[in-house]
């Protein structure tokens, strides 16, 4: 309790400092752009030489780019639940994608995994519920936190954005391949070169901005791009990337590149609306991904693994934050942050009182955004992940957990009772396991990890 009170006082004092020291005294609007399955190395801003993302590049040039931002999980639903609640998937008991109660589980495994999560409990207070007394909150696009209607990705009538703080929203699939009609699948449209399909998710999000421009708002723009099925209907884009990638490139890589440019175009439409509505000076814009890239399409030469794993390419994600005249343009932060940090960050910026800091895992990164968070404490902060499930398709993932503290990262594999240790300062590609060379550090990291998991009553895989 004493630590809670100290944390609360510190949070309130920090918030007062932001409001006093910022150039705009008003609480900012929030635009949260959540992309699906975008890999750390997929953008030009992060060094990609193939994918063209001019709108995201401009956002990065006008704000802060994070080199060491992480998703809370290597998979969709778990990460999304964590973003909304400020809690790690381990604390939530929501570590996998939502599945129906009668879902098949992998057979013949050494360990028995926990039950699949189904619905985000209504008892969990989302960031929208925290700020909804004074903010109009809108949610457009992918939710993926319920199986109430047994419809893939569908919103529920009892479990969904409207039941958890969002006043306005729509679950449209937009122009993504999820929304293709049977006749459209596997075919190209007749769009002229340089034009893109109309995307209803983006259009509805812009309409929300227009309708609520005069009131404090939070827009949660939850894209379906660039999740599979990766299949563009824009022939000119397909031809463009077939030429750029060369004759040896797979169909999947060509379509994925086209998807990324399409995603960038829609984000550009949203950012243009922000400028036209003159919202830029009092709007915090967060751009991030729900997990690492799908290794079938998202190729990273600098990071190991991919979605469904706790290696860096599975959880390290592109993240850019912009707040005109408040966040320094072109800034780069190497402070490690996690997806669950956005909950307390948004709460602080929007003036939420009495945040229950001792029951969440997130930590406000407002000082980092203002260029004041380069302390040793920030750099050595403990981040952790828990993925106690099997996922045989694509990568054959097995139950694993991970922890990062400063330059060190450890991954624990439950079947083998084995830990790997990496020095991310010298080996961000995780090619050299140093657990034998530094056994004391490996032991320390393992203890810290399991202390964390015990503290939050994490669900564990057990022997069959």
Residue 34 · residue 346 · CB < 8 Å: no
Beta carbons within 8 Å of 23's beta carbon, 6+ residues apart: 325, 326
Can you give the pLDDT at residue 355? 74
Phi and psi torsions of 61, nearest 5°: -65, -25
Q: What is the pLDDT of residues 364-401, one digit of tens each?
A: 999 999 988 655 557 789 999 999 999 999 999 999 99
CA distance 134 to 418: 49
Can you give the pLDDT at residue 111? 98
Provide the residue ranges of all domains of the chain, joining segments of one domain with +: 2-380
Q: Classify the C-alpha dihedral 208-209-212-218 as positive or negative.
A: positive
Q: What is the pLDDT of residues 263-291, one digit of tens each?
A: 999 999 999 999 999 999 999 999 999 99
- Strand 29-35 relative to strand 283-289: parallel, antiparallel, unpaired? parallel
Q: What is the pLDDT of residues 318-376, one digit of tens each?
A: 999 999 999 999 999 999 999 999 999 999 999 997 776 668 999 999 999 998 865 55
CATH topology (fold) of 2-380: Alkaline Phosphatase, subunit A (3.40.720)
Can you give the pLDDT at residue 17? 38
Can you give the pLDDT at residue 353? 78
Q: Classify the C-alpha dihedral 315-316-318-323 as positive or negative.
A: positive
**Torsion angle in degrees (nearest 10) through CA of 300, 222, 381, 438:** -30
Q: How many CA atoms lie within 13 A of 401 on its CB side?
A: 25
Residue 411 scores a pLDDT above 60:
yes
Can you give the pLDDT at residue 119? 96
At 52, is the pLDDT very low, low, confident or very high (cuts 50, 70, 90)? very high
Can you give the pLDDT at residue 377? 57
Summarize the confidence of residues 154-183 as an average pLDDT. Answer: 93
Residue 181 scores a pLDDT above 50:
yes
Summarize the confidence of residues 133-140 as an average pLDDT. Answer: 97
CA distance 98 to 145: 6
Phi and psi torsions of 12, nearest 5°: -65, -40
At 131, is the pLDDT very low, low, confident or very high (cuts 50, 70, 90)? very high
Average pLDDT, the chain: 92
CA distance 268 to 289: 16
CA distance 84 to 61: 27
Q: How many CA atoms lie within 13 A of 224 on its CB side?
A: 25
Can you give the pLDDT at residue 22? 36
C-alpha to C-alpha distances, 133 to 120, 137, 216, 221, 432, nearest whole angstrom: 21, 10, 10, 20, 50
Residue 8 scores a pLDDT above 70:
no
Strand, coil or helix: 333: strand
Summarize the confidence of residues 234-246 as an average pLDDT. Answer: 97
At 187, is the pLDDT very low, low, confident or very high (cuts 50, 70, 90)? very high
Which is nearest to 253 in space by CA: 223, 225, 231?
A: 231
Which is nearest to 90 in space by CA: 404, 454, 463?
A: 454
Residue 128 · residue 164 · CB < 8 Å: yes
Residue 21 scores a pLDDT above 90:
no
Residue 303 scores a pLDDT above 90:
yes
CA distance 385 to 388: 10
Residue 24 scores a pLDDT above 80:
no
């Amino acid at each position: 309790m004493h630590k809670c009170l100290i944390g609360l006082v510190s949070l309130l004092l920090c918030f007062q400092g932001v409001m006093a020291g910022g150039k705009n005294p008003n609480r900012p609007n929030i635009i949260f752009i959540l992309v699906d399955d975008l890999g750390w190395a997929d953008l030009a801003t992060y060094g990609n030489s193939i994918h063209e993302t001019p709108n995201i590049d401009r956002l990065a040039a006008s704000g802060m780019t994070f080199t060491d931002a992480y998703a809370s999980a290597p998979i969709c639903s778990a990460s999304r639940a964590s973003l909304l609640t400020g809690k790690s998937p381990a604390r939530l008991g929501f570590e996998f994608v939502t599945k129906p109660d009668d879902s098949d589980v992998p057979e013949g495994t050494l360990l028995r995994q926990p039950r699949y999560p189904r619905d985000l409990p209504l008892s969990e207070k989302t960031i929208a519920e925290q700020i909804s007394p004074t903010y109009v909150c809108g949610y457009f696009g992918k939710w993926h936190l319920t199986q109430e209607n047994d419809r893939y990705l569908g919103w529920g009538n009892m479990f969904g954005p409207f039941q958890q703080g969002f006043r306005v929203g729509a679950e449209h699939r937009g122009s993504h391949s999820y929304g293709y009609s049977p006749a459209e699948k596997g075919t190209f449209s007749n769009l002229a070169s340089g034009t893109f399909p109309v995307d209803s998710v983006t259009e509805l999000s812009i309409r929300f901005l227009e309708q609520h421009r005069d009131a404090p708002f939070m827009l949660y723009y939850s894209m379906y791009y660039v999740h599979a099925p990766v299949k563009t209907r824009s022939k000119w884009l397909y031809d463009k990337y077939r030429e750029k990638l060369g004759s040896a490139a797979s169909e999947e890589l060509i379509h994925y590149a086209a998807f990324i440019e399409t995603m960038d175009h829609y984000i550009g439409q949203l950012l243009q609306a922000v400028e036209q509505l003159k919202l830029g000076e009092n709007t915090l814009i967060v751009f991030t991904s729900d997990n690492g890239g799908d290794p079938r399409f998202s190729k990273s030469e600098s990071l190991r693994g991919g979605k469904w794993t706790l290696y860096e390419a599975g959880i390290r994600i592109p993240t850019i934050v912009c707040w005109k005249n408040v966040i320094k343009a072109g800034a780069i932060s190497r402070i490690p942050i996690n997806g669950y940090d956005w909950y307390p960050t948004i709460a602080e910026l929007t003036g939420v009182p009495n945040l229950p800091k001792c029951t969440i895992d997130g930590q406000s990164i407002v000082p980092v955004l203002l260029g004041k968070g380069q302390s040793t404490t920030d750099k050595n902060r403990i981040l952790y992940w828990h993925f106690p499930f099997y996922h045989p398709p694509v990568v054959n993932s097995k139950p694993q957990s991970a922890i990062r503290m400063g330059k060190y990262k450890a991954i624990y594999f439950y079947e083998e009772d084995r830990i790997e240790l990496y020095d991310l300062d010298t080996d961000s590609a995780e090619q050299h396991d140093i657990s034998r060379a530094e056994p004391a550090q490996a032991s320390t990291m393992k203890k810290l990890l399991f202390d964390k998991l015990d503290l939050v009553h994490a669900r564990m895989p057990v022997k069959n």
